[in-house]
Amino acid sequence: MKKTISKMIIATMAISLLAGCSGPAAGGQSGAASKAAAASTEGVYMFGILSYLNMTEDDMALIMDGRKPAIKYLSEQGVAKYNMTDQGTIKVKFYDTLESIIMGLEAGDIESTELPKCTADYLVAHNDKLEVKLSYNMDKADDFAKSVVNHLGVGFSFLVKEDNKALCEELDKAISEMKKDGTLSKLVKDHINEGVFTEPKPIEFEKTSGDTLKIAVTGALPPMDYVAPDGSFAGFNTGLCAELGKRLKKNIELIQVDSMGRAAALASGKVDAVFWTAGQNGNTSAEEDERFEKSGTEEQKKVIESLKSVSSREKDEKKDRPGGTITTQPYYSDQFNVVGKK
Amino acid sequence: MTLFDKLDKILIQGNSWKTILGGLWITIQISLFALILGTILGALICFLRTRKNPVARTIAKVYIAVLRGTPVLMLLLLLYYGVFVRAGLTSVTVAVITFALNVSAHIAELLRSAFEAADKGQAEAARTLGFSAWDAFRLVTFPQVLRIAKPVYQSTIVNLIQWTSVVGYITITDLTRVINNTASRTMQPLLTIAIGMLIYLALSYIVFGIFALTDRFSKRGGDEG
């Protein structure tokens, strides 16, 4: 009797789990539940964000609040494609992984999340419950609008130990060369522009007689960094590493570490470099900011003022940097898009 | 996207089931070796814990208190990124050591409580009948200890398998890590995690099944005897 009851409990658990994950009927029910959950905190707009080391959720909410005039301006210029309800008071919830953000979105725990455009595109291409709520049409953007979008963006760099400046310089040099000779653009085309919609492309690493460079990957931020069905590392970062190996004449060993364990892996010397998303989009410049501050329209100046009140180049660089580390120049820069439930 | 499409993407496409099985095999290896080492260590600690010598007893008490009272993830990180950082051990070896240490403290305590619950009168009776101390332990006390400890030991094994799910922090691609990777690739975390849970559940039931089989064999052995 006991056995039958326990079998029934397990079967019910399994069916409810599977039903909760798929199927239009179940999706409809969970959608209704999530709307009810969201409605219970009326006037508060919950954003889910991948955690920053040196910032609290309240700090991040302030930054997002300070961005509102900029997004309004871009929307009026026809640059920002906006499909969001009135955000009211913004609150931020930090998540350690992208998958927990997706679960938070699907459960209605948060209403939107902010992600690099490439990841946002990948997400909506593979999960039909979600859609992009805020993106930017750069064809319509003038210089100022481009600069604002870049300020709202993100740069992807390598993080290395402060006492390993030689490696930082070596990587910086190789990144500059790859930018010049078009290698990075080709990697972007293969792994980001096309990679979002296609199966992971196989990446080959050349064996050399040189040293081994150990680089940490998380496998948790497609299409930059993820793991193919056969268990091999895939995505833009892996392609970049294969190319770096050739240029630096080093064997590359990719080591998968959970995102929260990366700083410990770097500090202990288990890895030499880790991929890091911090700092501003690499296409911004202090000179350009100064030019707009001096010669921009009143409206543009207000946008700059609002952005400056909540963030700066220095603050942005420090917000996610572990102590005793430095970053290379960004090898890829992206906009931040907002994704939410359909 | 239908449930079938999602399952196909998670389990079939690109032979991802092979990668999931690979992760499962790592989880089994770590759990099994940690269990063997942990049981030996646990028996040793239990031996020290039940001695009259206060030094031996205190060492065992501190060992059990520290290892049972601290999160195994912290111990894992401390050993991998600190204590053994220059030792040249593989991450799987460090994981086996960590989980063996942790589980040994639990096993030491479960063995001690089983010894305390065993009927001492029977051992004394065996001694008065002329059994040596070793024979009284081997033939009278030990079988009772085994019988008393078995259900808790079984739960400890299942707990151990679940605790190993944090080894991703030290670069190991176990079942949880493979499930997380698959969730990130497919962007279907809920369904992928549900599948992962079912695999862990199946693993636990295999453990329960093995114990049920040993029960059946021992009963049959008893009947024949």
**pLDDT: is B203 or A311 the higher one?**
B203
Q: What is the pLDDT of residues A26-81, one digit of tens each?
A: 333 444 444 444 434 568 889 999 988 888 899 889 888 888 888 888 998 899 98
CB contact under 8 A, B16 and A123: no
CA gap A202, A232 in Å, rounded:
8
Hunting for tokens 């963030």 — which residue is that? A311
Span A290-305, average pLDDT? 82
Partners of residue A131 on adjacent β-strands: A340
Residue A21, pLDDT score: 46
Nearest by CB to residue B1, choosing from A106, A128, A230, is A128
Residue B175, pLDDT score: 96
Q: Which of A102-106, A141-145, A221-225 has the lowest mean pLDDT?
A: A141-145
Span A312-321, average pLDDT? 73
3-state DSSP assignment of residue B218: helix
Q: What is the pTM of this model?
A: 0.82
Partners of residue A276 on adjacent β-strands: A157
pLDDT of A198 higher than 70: yes
CB contact under 8 A, A231 and B22: yes
Using an 8 Å Cβ cutoff, are B104 and B48 in contact? no
Any chain B CB within 8 A of the CB of A14?
A: yes
**pLDDT: is A181 or A12 the higher one?**
A181
Using an 8 Å Cβ cutoff, are B188 and A21 in contact? yes
What is the distance, to the nearest Å, from the Cα of residue A77 to the centroid of all Cα atoms in its chain? 25
Any chain B CB within 8 A of the CB of A222?
A: yes
Any chain B CB within 8 A of the CB of A210?
A: no
Starting at the earlier edge strand, list the strands of the sheet with A220-221.
A220-221, A225-227, A233-234
Among residues 122-141 of chain A, which lie with CB inside 8 Å of chain B?
122-123, 126-128
Give the gap in angstroms from C-alpha B218 to the nearest C-alpha of chain A.
Answer: 21
Residue in A closest to B195 by C-alpha: A18
Give the gap in angstroms from C-alpha B126 to the nearest C-alpha of chain A.
Answer: 39
Pairing state between β A44-50 and A112-116: parallel
The CA-atom distances, in angstroms, between A174 and each of A47, A241, A277 are 37, 11, 19
Nearest Cα neighbor of B115 from B144, B139, B136 is: B144
Q: Which long-range contacts (CB under 8 A, 24 or more apart) does B76-80 make?
A: B76/B166, B76/B167, B76/B169, B76/B170, B77/A261, B77/A264, B77/B169, B77/B170, B80/A268, B80/A270, B80/B170
Residue A311, pLDDT score: 72
CA gap A119, A98 in Å, rounded:
10
Other Cβ atoms less than 10 A from the Cβ of A212: the count is 11
ipTM greater than 0.90, yes or no?
A: no
Using an 8 Å Cβ cutoff, are A145 and A210 in contact? no
Nearest by CB to residue A99, choosing from B16, B168, B184, is B184
Nearest by CB to residue B81, choosing from A98, A122, A270, is A270
Nearest Cα neighbor of A240 from A259, A226, A224 is: A224
Please list the rounded mean pLDDT of every run of 10 residues in chain B (225 residues).
90 92 97 97 94 94 95 94 89 97 96 88 86 86 89 94 93 93 92 96 94 82 53
Residue A63, pLDDT score: 87
Nearest by CB to residue A22, choosing from B173, B184, B191, is B191
CA gap B90, B207 in Å, rounded:
27
Nearest by CB to residue B191, choosing from A21, A200, A267, is A21
Using an 8 Å Cβ cutoff, are B200 and B175 in contact? yes
Q: What is the pLDDT of residues A264-280, one digit of tens each?
A: 889 989 999 999 886 66
Mean pLDDT computed over every residue of chain A? 83
Residue A28, pLDDT score: 39
Q: HSE-up of A97 (CA within 13 Å, CB side)?
A: 22
Residue in A closest to B5 by C-alpha: A22
Percent of chain A with pLDDT over 90: 44
For the four alpha carbons of B13, B17, B23 and B27, in that order, the dihedral sign comes to: positive
Stated as kind and residue range, the H or E segment containing B121 is: helix B120-128
Angle between helices A57-66 and A68-76 in degrees, nearest 10: 30
Residue A64, pLDDT score: 87
The CA-atom distances, in angstroms, between A305 and each of A87, A286, A294, A312, A317 are 21, 14, 12, 11, 19
A23 band by pLDDT with thresholds 50, 70 and 90: very low
CA gap A49, A96 in Å, rounded:
9
Span A206-216, average pLDDT? 91
Residue in B closest to A267 by C-alpha: B81
CA gap A233, A275 in Å, rounded:
14
User: Would you list which residues of chain B are within 8 Å, Cβ to Cβ, of chain A?
Assistant: 1-3, 6, 13-16, 18-19, 22, 77, 80-82, 85, 168-171, 173, 177-178, 180-191, 193-194, 197-198, 201
Residue A34, pLDDT score: 44
**Backbone phi, psi, residue A325, to 5°:** -130, 160
CB contact under 8 A, B191 and A256: no
What is the distance, to the nearest Å, from the Cα of residue A280 to the centroid of all Cα atoms in its chain? 12
Residue A9, pLDDT score: 52
CB contact under 8 A, B168 and A17: no
CA gap B22, B43 in Å, rounded:
32
Pairing state between β A154-161 and A332-334: antiparallel
Residue A39, pLDDT score: 39
Give the gap in angstroms from C-alpha B41 to the nearest C-alpha of chain A.
Answer: 29
Nearest by CB to residue A229, choosing from B1, B19, B180, is B19
Residue B86, pLDDT score: 85
pLDDT of A238 higher than 60: yes
Nearest Cα neighbor of B35 from B97, B127, B111, B117 is: B97
A297 band by pLDDT with thresholds 50, 70 and 90: confident
CB contact under 8 A, B181 and A227: yes
CA gap A48, A9 in Å, rounded:
34
Span A322-333, average pLDDT? 90
Residues of A in contact with B79 (CB under 8 A): none
Stated as kind and residue range, the H or E segment containing A226 is: strand A225-227
Residue A264, pLDDT score: 86
Structure tokens at A135: 């993106």
Using an 8 Å Cβ cutoff, are A95 and A51 in contact? yes
The CA-atom distances, in angstroms, between B48 and each of B64, B111, B150 are 11, 12, 21
How many angstroms separate the first and last alpha carbons of chain A? 45
Give the gap in angstroms from C-alpha A98 to the nearest C-alpha of chain B.
Answer: 7
A10 band by pLDDT with thresholds 50, 70 and 90: low
pLDDT of A22 higher than 70: no
* Residue contacts between A and B (CB atoms, under 8 Å): 119
Other Cβ atoms less than 10 A from the Cβ of A38: the count is 18
CA gap A101, A31 in Å, rounded:
16
